[in-house]
Amino acid sequence: MASSYFFAAKKLRAVLHATVASVLLCENKNCGNKTDKKAIQIIGKGFILCIILKNVFIKVTEIKNYKQLKRNILFVLCKIIFNNLQKFLILWFDFKFWKMEVYKSDFIRIEYEGSKSLLFAEWSDKTANMPENVFLKEVNGIIDLLIKYRAKYFLVDERQFKFITRPELQTVVVGKVLSRIATSGLLKFAHVSSLDFLALISVEQTFEDDKNKTYQERFIDNIETARDWILSN
pTM of the model: 0.60
Per-residue pLDDT of the chain (233 residues; tens, 9 = 90+): 444 444 545 555 555 555 444 444 443 444 444 445 555 555 555 555 555 545 444 444 455 555 666 666 677 777 776 776 666 665 555 555 567 889 999 999 999 998 889 999 999 999 999 999 999 999 999 999 999 999 999 999 999 999 999 999 999 999 889 989 988 999 999 999 988 888 999 999 999 888 888 999 999 999 999 999 999 87
Domains, the chain, with CATH or none: 2-94 (no CATH), 98-231 (3.30.750)
b (16+ CB within 10 A) / e for 7-20:
ebeeebeebbbebb
DSSP state of 65: S
Q: What Cα–Cα distance (Å) separates residue 190 from each residue in 127, 132, 155, 157?
A: 19, 23, 5, 9
Rounded Cα distance between 122 and 192, Å, is 9
Among candidates 121, 76, 80, 71, which has minimal Cα distance to 99?
Answer: 121
Rounded Cα distance between 80 and 69, Å, is 16
DSSP state of 61: G
Rounded Cα distance between 121 and 47, Å, is 35
